[in-house]
Amino acid sequence: MIKDIAFTAYPAKDVRALRDWYANTLGLQFGAPWEEGDKLQYDEAAVGTGTFSVMTADWMEVAPGSASAVAFEVDDIDEQKSWLEGKHIEVSDVYDTPVCRVATFRDPEGNKVTIHQSTRH
């Protein structure tokens, strides 16, 4: 039986650069680098009970910019959107659903990232 999500991975041409962007821009703390030769192939950051990782596109066998699965939970989506825009990141309008509020932006590789605020109480 499936009991949890082990990790989600985003493809990158340059894992080190993308990892550093997520660390410096979103504050994720990576700590499981996998290198082969002089090339960083993979690294991951714990987020809540899950793991977000960046991995070479060759390992994932998908093109950089093709990922769109991660949704990071935030306490205040309007505040987070403004904060990201202050870092010169283009963020979509906030979309309200019956159970949540969401907005999206692209990382430097072109992967789609969602910020999510649950409205379930």
pTM, two decimal places: 0.90
Mean pLDDT across the chain: 94
> Of 116, 97, 111, 121, whose CA–CA distance to 9 is shortest?
111
- For residue 21, CA distances in Å to 84, 108, 120 come to 13, 8, 31
Domains and CATH numbers, the chain: 8-118 (3.10.180.10)
The first and second tokens of residue 49, run together, are 């009970």
Closest CA to 74 of 114, 20, 32, 33: 114
pLDDT surpasses 90 at 7: no
Dihedral angle sign, alpha carbons of residues 94, 120, 28, 34: negative
- The strand pairing partners of 34, in sequence order, are 42
pLDDT at position 98, please?
Answer: 95
- pLDDT tens, 90-101? 999 999 999 999
Cα distances (angstroms) measured from residue 98 to each of 75, 102, 121: 17, 11, 12
